[in-house]
Amino acid sequence: MNRFALGTAVAAIALVAFLNVPGNTQSAGGAAPAAKSNSDTYRQLNLFAEVFERVRSDYVEEVSDETLVESAINGMLTSLDPHSSYLNAKNYKDMQVQTRGEFGGLGIEVTMDDTPAAKAGIKPNDFITNLDGEPVAGLTLPEAVEKMRGLVNSPIKLTIRREGRDPFDVTLTRAIVKIQSVKSHLEGDNIGYIRITSFNEQTDSGLQNAVKNLKQQAGNKLVGYVLDLRNNPGGLLDQAIAVSDAFIERGEIVSTRGRRSEDAQRYNARAGDITNGLPIVVLINGGSASASEIVAGALQDHHRAVLLGTKSFGKGSVQTIIPLPGHGAMRLTTARYYTPSGRSIQAKGIEPDILVEPAKIEKVAQAAIRHEADLRGALKNTDKAAAQPSGDAPANVPPGTTPAAPAEKGDASSVDPLVLGTAEDYQLARALDMLRGVALFNGRALN
């Protein structure tokens, strides 16, 4: 048997296997339509076999059959949508490690803090053009990632292109990158700040621990929470459901609808709210995607939180990881997800309830202003209550400051990861103002 005949035979075997898979019935209209469909499939597989054999025999350099087949499979999957792909055995293993919450490398996904990339000042939407002087043009993403991995403490030089400046080099030292997907701290002494950077297997337990610790630190003073989902690219669906469930007492969290109506699924909340009903502000931006949007959409539809920031990314599809024994796995888009009100945010994103664009907080010079207390002979205030502060200044905004001109609307790249959750975080400052305003209003309403 010659090579072409062998390739055709392989294609035929693949077809037989395909036709024997349950659910792959080609037509319900009788034998004739099914036979015609099968004939069309044979013809297409013969085309593949012909191209496969021609590449094996005539390409300028010898290429292994494994490489050709993997590339063909990946090409088929990536042509479907941006999120379907083939994972060879190594990439599948790497993916499993990442979803568990720990991996080795540079931490070049700069939505993560405390990584070599973040510490070196690399920002979202930076383009890596060279690795150790070698151009990355023509490399696939897995190939580029492989080149960036290496021994811990070994250096690598990246050439970065950033809008508005000339290309520049950054030398990083490889390190073990652990994804601490939930981080928290108290703002003042009465607002809990919780940031979720990704949704991995540790996220739900991390959230539970964060809320528990915040309650212990604040005692009975907590008046609300900020849930920061900015620059969070998503992750595991079950973790997004668990996080949403933590804040919602009852009702639907999300539904998924696939190709067949019988595959539709709905996920509902169980009784219990770990915050005991305190107000929540959720921060989102153009870097909030997928699982982040599930959480934001659920809390928004249930009127459980106010969404503040800029429009989210708009990834409303669900990918299923299907293991391929002995080879790796395929990541296949199998469904769209919908918020509790039935919204699909695919390619649309979630609009915040209050639009607050990124900005910088800068001091503004002010001329000296005299007050009544500065006048000679001014009467003193004898009210003891006057010694107390008349009210909190806006959170994280020093007296005499005003925000600079906001950055471009919805531009996730304008949000520096190192600023998130700090005193220079303008969007966080607005969220804190809102929660303190609500707390002040509720306090007055009770009096």
Active-site residue set = 290, 301, 315
Longest dimension (CA), the chain: 112
Specify whether the CB–CB gap between 298 and 282 falls below 8 A. Answer: no
Q: What is the bridge-based pairing of β-strands 354-355 and 306-309?
A: parallel
Question: How far, rounded to the nearest angstrom, does the alpha carbon of residue 248 sit from its chain's CA centroid?
Answer: 21
- Measured distance CA(416)–CA(166) in Å, rounded: 19
Residue 144 — φ and ψ, nearest 5°?
A: -65, -40
Distances (CA, A) of 388 to 190, 383, 391: 18, 10, 9
Neighbours of 280 (CB within 10 A): 21
Residue 420 burial by CB count (10 A; 0-12/13-18/19+): exposed, middle or buried? Answer: buried
- Give Cα 165 to chain centroid, integer Å: 27
The upper half-sphere exposure of residue 444, i.e. CA atoms within 13 Å in the direction of its Cβ, equals: 5
386 beta partners: none
